[in-house]
Copies of this chain bind each other. A is one copy, B any other.
Amino acid sequence: MKKLQIGVIGYNSGSSIQISKSTLNTAYEVGKYIAKRNAILISGGLGGVMEYSCMGAKDHGGFTIGIVPHENSIQANDYCDVVICTGIGLSRDFIVAYSSDGIISVGGGVGTLIELCVGYMTKKPMVAIENSGGVSDIYGGKFLDERKRIIIETNRDPASAVDYIISKIRFE
């Protein structure tokens, strides 16, 4: 009964890094294709990549879940259908990754790296969008530790990235 749940992770607008328009547009496209493939979009529910991917999904009939660090939904972006208020601060990164059947990263700082680490631990299919900056470019194409559990794939195209994730989940 559970629907397919795809996580989108990346830069938050509150961080010290200026996010390029092209990166936000990529996030929007990722959200759009998640919606078009009838999967549910999971994110951390805040700004930047989280907001633009939710916007892309909502503009194309998708359904979005924001898992926020706070005890209430006040700081969630406007494109979340459901807000999960964890109240556990940034440890909610674990919940974003655990709740995703597969993960797509767009840029991102060390918080995004934590989510990739949790995805790696639990062997979730993961794709880092190429040239989206940040940890997606630093760690894309790599194994995060010597155990080589699962590689972070890279892909330039949001639609292909979504299709890759879905194909991997389906084959499990």
User: Interface residues, chain A, CB within 8 Å of chain B?
Assistant: 1-3, 5, 15-17, 40, 58, 65, 67, 71-73, 76, 78-91, 94-95, 98-99, 108-111, 113-114, 117-118, 120-122, 133-135, 138, 144-147, 149
Q: Given A87-B89, A117-B114, do A78 and B1 touch, yes or no (CB 8 Å)?
A: yes
28 A-B pairs with C-beta separation under 8 A: A1-B79, A1-B80, A2-B81, A2-B82, A2-B83, A5-B82, A5-B83, A15-B147, A16-B147, A40-B81, A65-B65, A71-B90, A71-B122, A83-B99, A85-B95, A86-B98, A87-B90, A87-B91, A87-B94, A87-B95, A89-B89, A110-B121, A110-B147, A111-B121, A113-B144, A117-B117, A134-B145, A135-B145
Residue with the highest number of chain B CB atoms closer than 10 Å, among A58, A90, A120: A90
